[in-house]
Amino acid sequence: MKSYTLSDLASINENETKPARFAVIGNPVQHSLSPQLHQPALDSLGIDARYVRVEVESGKVAEAFDQLFEAGFLGINVTVPHKLEALEACHAVDPAAASMGAVNTIVFDKDGKRTGFNTDGPGFARAIREEFSVDLGDLKVIIIGAGGGAGRAIATQCIIENCSQVILVNRTLEKLAPLKDQLTELISREDLEGPRDRIEIMSLDDPQLESAIDASELIINTTSVGLNSADPSPFPSRWVEPHHLVYDTIYNPARTRLLRDAEAQGARIANGLSLLLHQGALSLEYWLNQDAPLGAMREGVQTALKG
Ligand code: ATR
């Protein structure tokens, strides 16, 4: 499947049977699996529309939204590196997305005014329910890599869900103090229940990390460590025990070193495919106001990953 640029918009429907109505923007965007997730969904719902990739340069996100609306697009997903710029280019932003500091879903109203949402956080909560049959809010959580974009979205969701423990871990500790402040402010602003001191921050080489992992029920990897098959686990995986649930946001490779080790130690494991699926399903629900066909979406993305 090819990618387009904004200069292709004028001719994007030439020689095509279905009009382009949904897009993911990013740079680069060629790697995005969103079309393989969304096109089967649109097809299975009988919606006469194409979902395409559009490469957009940094600094041009607002302009891209204007042009896409003018070209008849109904909904947009946003991927790296544009999630913050997209937030700034919205007329209204969902409060949870504002706390996450990132927007991955744009909904246009009839005048082209755009509202930004972040479906990564809520999609993660759905993924945990699907994978482990438990509510995220009932778990004590530790997030390894909380300084990155995915880690921040998931940390925010953990606060929204009222997790009683949220330990934020990052190689670069300095990134975590501002995040902790924002999450603490979110707790006060939204008047969320639960202990005020539930958020802890820790660097990846903190000697207390082993005991922090031991005290946790759900271990989440949001670092990029594991994207290469030869990567080690982001922390010593011998610390994983059978009582742990281990979620790696990486889905390709399907089993990172962390997941392989964790499984061998008797923990329950899941990879990021369910997060990819549910964040996409939630985007579709925002655009179409109906339930997403999860089966078609799952099959589409699994086929793409095999190919
Ligand atoms: P994003 O696009 O999600 O923001 P990113 O900036 O590449 O992704 O960062 C993802 C996470 O992986 C970060 O938490 C990053 O840690 P730093 O904040 O210290 O950079 C983490 N990460 C990347 N490489 C790592 C490594 N070799 N060891 C530990 N953590 C690593």
Q: 231 CA distance to ligand 1 centroid (A)?
A: 13
Query: Rounded to an integer, what distance in angstroms lies between the CA atom of residue 93 and that of residue 17?
Result: 34
Instruction: Please tell me the residue having the least CA distance from ligand 1 atom 26.
Output: 225
Question: Which of 73-87, 153-167, 190-204, 279-293 is least confident?
Answer: 190-204
Closest ligand 1 atom to Cα of 148:
4
pLDDT digit string (tens) for 196-247? 678 999 999 999 999 999 999 999 999 999 999 999 999 999 999 999 999 9
Chain segment 23-41, per-residue pLDDT in tens? 999 999 999 999 999 999 9
Characterize 96-133 residue by residue with b for buried, 16 or more Cβ atoms within 10 angstroms of its Cβ, and e for exposed: bbbbbbbbbbbbbeeeeebbbbbbbbbbbbbbbeebbe
| pLDDT for the residue numbered 196 | 63
2 is an active site residue? no
Active-site entry in 2, 60, 83, 113: 83
Peptide bond into 242 cis (omega under 30): no
| SS3 of the chain | CCEEEHHHHHHCCCCCCCCEEEEEEECCCCCCCHHHHHHHHHHHCCCCCEEEEEECCCCCHHHHHHHHHHCCCCEEEECCCCHHHHHHCCCEECHHHHHHCCCCEEEECCCCCEEEECCHHHHHHHHHHHHHCCCHHHCEEEEECCCCHHHHHHHHHHHHCCCCEEEEEECCHHHHHHHHHHHHHHHHHCCCCCCCCCEEEEECCCCCHHHHHHCCCEEEECCCCCCCCCCCCCCCHHHCCCCCEEEECCCCCCCCHHHHHHHHCCCEEEECHHHHHHHHHHHHHHHHCCCCCHHHHHHHHHHHHHC
- Give the pLDDT of residue 302: 95
Q: How many CA atoms lie within 13 A of 25 on its CB side?
A: 30
304: exposed, middle or buried (Cβ count in 10 Å: 0-12, 13-18, 19+): middle
Q: Indicate the length of the chain as a whole number.
A: 307
Is residue 245 within 8 Å of 2, Cβ to Cβ? no
- Which pLDDT does position 197 carry in this prediction? 73
pLDDT per residue as tens digits for the range 157-193: 999 999 999 999 999 999 999 999 999 988 888 777 7
Name, in order, each residue with C-beta under 8 angstroms of 275's C-beta and a sequence gap of 6 or more: 120, 123, 124, 127, 249, 251
The pLDDT of 129-146, averaged and rounded, is 98
Residues with CB under 6 A from ligand 1: 80, 145, 147-151, 170-172, 175, 204, 223-225, 234
Of 252, 259, 240, 235, nearest to 305 (Cα)? Answer: 252
Distance from chain centroid for Cα 241: 26
Give the per-residue pLDDT at 190: 76
Q: How far is the CA of 149 from the centre of ligand 1 (A)?
A: 9
Question: Could you give all domains of the chain from N- to C-terminal order, each with its CATH number?
Answer: 3-118+274-306 (3.40.50.10860), 121-271 (3.40.50.720)
CB atoms within 10 A of CB 207: 7
Which residues on adjacent β-strands are paired with residue 203? 170
Query: By percentage, how much of the chain surpasses pLDDT 70?
Result: 99
